Chain A
Amino acid sequence: MSERLLEVTDLRTTFRTVTGAVPAVGGVSFDLHGNETLGIVGESGSGKTVLARTIMGLQPRTNVEVTGSVLLNGHQVVGASERTMRTMWATEVAMVFQDPMTSLNPVMRIGRQIDETLRVRLGMDRHAARARAIELLTMVGIPSAQSRYRAYPTELSGGMRQRVVIATALACSPKLIIADEPTTGLDVTIQAQILNLLDSLKEQLSMSVILITHDLGVVATRATRIIVMYAGQIVEMGDTRDVFFHHRMPYTRALLDSSPKVTNAPHTRLAVIPGRPPNLSTPQPGCAFAPRCAYATERCHVEAPTLVDASAPGHRFACWNPLPETSDREAR
């Protein structure tokens, strides 16, 4: 492993709303090394997207409070001005947005949208930028890039648009790409294509990738490490193998159980996690998952567990009643 590219320490993002403070991200710490893929997994509303945008420094500045520290390649992101962030965006860190239907400007040719990053950020002239943009479009697998350069987003399919979004993110060779549910808006058949593309580009350009998803299947073969989030907090983290086969936190288990598997008999009911994620604006004492947890005891409802080390290095979990440690849990 190479040196640390990203160091997140006790990061908290709190929204100030009319009904009170909502801690969307409540004290998250992790590291990311060079040329690594980190998967962040959680249900809707677990704070994944807010975490991603906070790391990017893209969170709106009004009515949002961010504390803690995000060191990106040695630069502090928390509290940095938009002006400072502008020097890091695109060149240090770039984002692949969730929905390619809304993340591209509908009235701008796609070539221009890639071009302008190159021209504004790298000072390329018109011709060089154009040539590079066509090169990028080719690299992300857009056929006849030369003519597609002049297309408007509406003239492309969802998968093609997401490729354009990826090409835009790659334009200034960032060291870190944050992909926030990059395939949620796409057909299943296209999902694998896009994820494989991200994977191969990561190798090719030796970047790091943070892959955010609600689908454990997406990160299973692609991430080197996985963070499981619940209610704005990390509940389990570790090497992908450990999280899949030696998970200790019941939530991770429930999440794995609730994803459909090819080996399931036909018409089997899919396991669901009862209840809903907690409302973060009314904080409860204890473990946030306790109300939905089959293993919850009295203690879980009053005292919040903190992350503790499991046996494998880097594998940590937050639970008072962890699942027993086993050798290879059944692959799920």
Chain B
Amino acid sequence: MLRYVLRRLVMLVGIVFIISVGSFYLIHLLPGDPATVILGTGASPANRAILYKQLGLNKPIIEQYFVWIGNVLHGNLGTSFISQTSVASTIRAAYPIDLELIFLSQVLAFAAAIPLAMRSARKPNGLLDRLLSAGSFTLLSIPPFIVIVLLVLIVSIKLGIANTGPSSFVSFASNWRVNLTSLALPSITLATASFVLYFRVLRSDMIATLQEEFITMARSKGLSQRRIMWRHAFRPSSVALLGTAGVNIGGLLAGGFVVQYLLGIPGLGYTLISAIASSDYLLVQGIVLVVSVGVVLINFFFDFLTSLVDPRISRE
């Protein structure tokens, strides 16, 4: 097990390195001189000189990378020339919102998907199973930006609760009621898509597992239905679920911006869209780097969870 984790960690370092090269090169990929890309065509020579110094632009590109990665490792992602604030502090302010949003939506999605999938799998094609499958298909076919608009229409506008906006957003620590109220709708929106995914994956795996001989053997030991479902069938059925969750949560971190942008929640996604709109490339670079590393870490975590659930994976 330890060897498995260590091996994965080495891979992790490799992947993060590749990501860092990619994010670094982002600025150089854009046509034209990096200084022009970052500062715009109308930049003063003085500002260009500062930027050249900050990024070491007159040095060879490999050396530039090491200067940059050294700064990054010290938590210095540069200072935005657009907003005159440090990129790192902007990201620090934004990312807890993403984490909270993902956490809330995933708790909701799992809390609904696991018990319903277990119940559904017990009688495949039974009434409950048909209803849930039809319902999940319906949800699957409605994109999140429609869900959120519908929710806002019904909940915020018709019922007059849960009003949101980037200026009115407060952190959980300062006022948790307001915080949760403003995150309720986006959490539910993100949860619906995740719910459909988790429900379908777990349901089909549970149905397959319940056909297994070891389930018949568990029955023949005189165990209760509940025990067979949770102790014997759930664990071997949850491997694909964890894999799916890892990819999905990574996707939410990288792609949750639609919902954030529509509701004006100042998380990383919202910040990224604004940065792109204002051509704040250093900020874009910083967010891309942080989000990519985050996605990798999330997947690493879920890989680890999977190996805990199924001991065969780490032993081969």
Spell out A's residues near B (CB within 8 Å).
56, 58, 82, 85-91, 94-95, 97-99, 102-108, 116-117, 120-121, 152, 154-155, 165, 168, 171-172
Contacts and interface: CB of A to CB of B under 8 A. Distances in A.
A325 B309 CA distance: 62
Interface in B209-235: 212-214, 216-225, 227, 231-232, 235
B311 interface: yes
Contacts of A108: 231-232, 235
A227 B27 CA distance: 81
B310 interface: yes
Interface string B301-316: 0000000011110010
A107 B222 contact: no
Given A152-B311, A152-B312, A105 B214 contact: yes
A97 B217 contact: yes
B75 interface: no
Interface in B38-81: none
Given A94-B220, A102-B213, A107-B311, 11 more contacts: A56-B220, A90-B221, A95-B220, A97-B216, A102-B214, A103-B213, A103-B214, A104-B214, A116-B223, A117-B221, A120-B222
B220 A107 contact: no
A103 B217 contact: yes
A208 to B, nearest CB: 17
A98 B217 CA distance: 11
A107 B309 contact: yes
B231 A116 contact: yes
Of the listed residues B214, B216, B220, B310, the one surrounded by the most CB atoms of chain A closer than 10 A to its CB is B220
Contacts of A106: 214, 236, 310, 312
Contact of A105 (B219, B232, B309): B232
A282 B311 CA distance: 47
A106 B312 CA distance: 8
B220 to A, nearest CB: 5
Contacts of B223: 86, 116-117, 120
A86 B213 contact: no
A168 B221 contact: yes
B220 A58 contact: yes
A107 B236 contact: yes
Nearest to B223: A120
12 contacts: A56-B220, A58-B219, A86-B223, A90-B221, A97-B213, A97-B217, A103-B214, A105-B214, A107-B235, A120-B221, A120-B224, A168-B221
